Structure 1
């Protein structure tokens, strides 16, 4: 007997819409299938067989995150096919910081009303993110929550698992004074600091449609630019040189994230002029009259990730990153200090 419930539908939950969403999203999920996937979507759990070839002591590494209030921009622009990329990026960019390779991903979408076409559009972005990260989308959940949120709104979160050989986990304690910090460029604001962004611009449809000459596009298009996924670049990098630490620059900017990958007694000394700040951050600072210290403590400022290598490996590291399709440059060096980050 086909599953349906008029009583549940009258209460605001249409189970048949959920089934349609699954059917629509299957074409996108199919793009992410890797050799380890043992089950399709629709079951109670996603099955994945790890390929441990060449890995002596496998260690699983997990990460979970959401897209935050950047989703508000998607609501206003009625564009939902990119926030899924952000969701994947926020998870996989975290787990690669210890050298782990992402294996699979699961998403969770909570919505006021299940509109199958919108849900499928969201998942198309998740699938694209998984393709960029080289991992499989093996499951997820879409939950209809009438009364908890407006019918046209949703929230999106995700979870990823990766694997790394215990002997190859990146150990920040091996860093020393004189090591060089390299910046890998971001694509923009990524998925952090949007509460401040929305306050600065008093975000609405009219303001998002404004074209800025500094940006070369509208504010809305700039802000909705997906977070870069650095998996392929980092995997290529660690196969070529000895990487001593990696930081994912998210909420909290330089001052919060960089020290997380530094041992006690070492700080990152960064020349302000070395930072290749993207135009959107200059616009944010100018429009909101935000002090530079706060900007560097909130946003990535154009630096999506930082990696630390020996000074003799700098050229090879930058070449490896660029060969994988990302842009990179020398950001600073490590010095003996307890300050964490020194921008001078």
Structure 2
């Protein structure tokens, strides 16, 4: 059996590191107590919030991870900006925030202006579609410090105080709606690359998979949910169409762990017995790498990039509005009183 840890990524160590980092972050909060920009403590949240009086400023950071290594191998950089934007804005919107700007930092071993032009053109295109500006950024030439480009971003959003999604009102009987993903978004690529390199060779990205290359299918850009969800949440100053009680962005850690972050405030759990199946490329990857189903659902989103929690009466409206925004969605399960999250995998096995 091949695990994410075998590829060099230790999820548990990463979670511990995040807790350590946030402990130090919280030590700064008292310095702005009673001032504009006072911090809101949100252990396990998807983004940080600062009190700006009538609204909260929402900030968070993320990057493209080792998907950038694939883009470099294929010399294809025009779509990975969608991955960068998705990683930050789809975290921010879990609070109910509309993202208004994204800055980015690109660390490179040497300056390749053609690559930089393609990367930023793609990011700009994605931002324009989401009505987000890029006010600035940084390109750092650091020979010896990096081999592949390292691309990270910070998003800044705003949410009115009466529109914050905190998950506290999630209750037994509420419905969980899954938003369909593409292939792997920008998570779990260390394991993807290990499996394909081990089974297909060092140039795995040029090997054929069902009429196209493994590289092309794995470079499929992330679906960005932010704009479609704002059709329901309303942009800043707009009324909310539906009372969305909770949103979970399914990234590192998989479906159950990310949903638990959203359910923590209400003490509830969920039974997810009607999730989208993963892309066929992921199914084949699991077989090639002899990856356990449990490990797969902890590493990748498995076809479900976002989970949205609403009252049963709002389900049809949510699915219809998301469809109008270009997102395919379906009922994935229900909220339970028991705090456990139970996932039925694509092969019928039940993961608890």
Structure 2 length-normalised TM: 0.77
Deviation at 1:56, TM superposition (A): 8.2
User: 1:174 is paired with a residue of what secondary structure?
Assistant: coil
Deviation at 1:274, TM superposition (A): 3.9
Aligned residue number for residue 125 of structure 1: 122
1:132–1:229 contact (8 Å) kept in structure 2: no
Aligned residue number for residue 171 of structure 1: 166
User: 1:281 is paired with a residue of what secondary structure?
Assistant: helix
User: 2:151 is paired with a residue of what secondary structure?
Assistant: strand
Q: For residues 285-324 of structure 1, what are the structure 2 equivalents within 5 Å? A: 285-324=286-325
Aligned residue number for residue 282 of structure 1: 283
Aligned residue number for residue 75 of structure 2: 78
Note if 1:58 corresponds to 2:60.
no
2:87 to 90, 100, 112: 90
Gap regions ≥5 residues in structure 2: 1-51, 234-239, 345-349
User: 2:77 is paired with a residue of what secondary structure?
Assistant: coil
1:190 to 185, 190, 208: 185
Aligned residue number for residue 43 of structure 1: none
CA RMSD of aligned residues (A): 1.7
Deviation at 1:264, TM superposition (A): 4.6
Aligned residue number for residue 113 of structure 1: 110
Deviation at 1:338, TM superposition (A): 2.3
Aligned residue number for residue 266 of structure 1: 268
Aligned residue number for residue 11 of structure 2: none
Relative to structure 1, the CA distance from residue 146 to residue 176 in structure 2 (aligned partners, 3 Å threshold; closer, same or farther) is same
Distance in 2 (CA, whole Å) between partners of 1:68 and 1:171 is 28
Deviation at 1:148, TM superposition (A): 2.0
Q: Kindly tell me the number of residue pairs found equivalent between the two proteins.
A: 285
Gap regions ≥5 residues in structure 1: 1-54
2:182–2:220 contact (8 Å) kept in structure 1: yes
Deviation at 1:73, TM superposition (A): 0.4
Deviation at 1:149, TM superposition (A): 2.8
Deviation at 1:206, TM superposition (A): 3.1
Aligned residue number for residue 156 of structure 2: 161
Query: Which runs of 4 or more aligned residues in structure 1 lie more than 4 Å from their structure 2 counterparts after TM superposition?
Result: none
Q: For residues 126-275 of structure 1, what are the structure 2 equivalents within 5 Å? A: 126-150=123-147, 153-202=148-197, 206-213=203-210, 217-238=212-233, 239-262=240-263, 263-271=265-273, 274-275=275-276
Distance in 1 (CA, whole Å) between partners of 2:228 and 2:302 is 20
* Per-residue Cα deviation, 1:239-264 (whole angstroms, up to 9, x for no partner): 32110000100011112211111035
Deviation at 1:162, TM superposition (A): 0.3
User: 2:115 is paired with a residue of what secondary structure?
Assistant: helix
Distance in 1 (CA, whole Å) between partners of 2:226 and 2:140 is 29
* Per-residue Cα deviation, 1:109-138 (whole angstroms, up to 9, x for no partner): 111111211111111122122123210011
* Per-residue Cα deviation, 1:56-92 (whole angstroms, up to 9, x for no partner): 8211001110110111101110111222221111000
Structure 1 length-normalised TM: 0.79
